[in-house]
Structure 1
Amino acid sequence: METVRVDKWMWAVRLFKTRGVAARACESGRVKSGGRILKASTSLRGDEVIELPFPEGPGTRVVRVVELIEKRVGAPQARLACEDLTPPDVVETRRQWQSSRSHRKEGEQGRPTKRKRREIEERRGFFE
């Protein structure tokens, strides 16, 4: 196997939960390699460096393609297929964001309403 679609590879190595979410990240223009924007159908080759957004929250992850895989694999094998090159300051900012986020406020109970859910998704960065 010489090449793999970007969205398939990102899904296979568990950078995104579904292939559709990976494709949407590509469509948004936030997945880049060497300064060029990658479409979901772009072919990846080994040893490329990709910049991509975290599925939720702030920051951009930097990953090197070590192995090309097309099918979703177990977590240990997925970790071997990519090398995380994300700068430490981005990792620290992300850690602080995760610890400080609180979706529920005092007095709120149960499942959020459609309006509240949209506000939460907007804060997470799904809508721009």
Structure 2
Amino acid sequence: MKATLEARRRWATTIVWVLLVLASMTLIGYGIARANWHIWLPGPAEQEEVWIGSRYIYAGCALSLASSIGSHVRGNPVWVSVCVGLPGILVSWAALQDPYDLKRHLAAVVTFPLALVGVAEVLSARRRRQRD
């Protein structure tokens, strides 16, 4: 009975962690889509949209870093924690460097698949432990 409750609690925390990672990626993606990118300095209306989009990006980056810390606390492999935290680090760095540049998009394209690989590893490891 106690082992079953422990297994259910472990699955619940895994699901919450996965949702946190997906929420961070969703916020970053929505912020990037909303902010867009500009070759020259945009007009005042577009600057306002970039500012609003940047807020979503930074919120998603904070969630990404929180999920990385949560991954480390849960005892996941170090590479999983690093891969899950990479979107938060690289996308926020690119957004801080130049909020109107294409670097945010490129950082997201590179780091999102790595974060998804980390999530897939955690889920497959949970399934393997459940079968054993």
TM range (shorter): under 0.3
Indicate the structure with greater strand content.
Answer: 1
User: Structure 2 length normalisation: TM-score?
Assistant: 0.26
Say which structure, 1 or 2, has more relative contact order (CA 8 Å, 6+ apart).
Answer: 2
User: Structure 1 length normalisation: TM-score?
Assistant: 0.26
Structure number with bigger Rg? 2
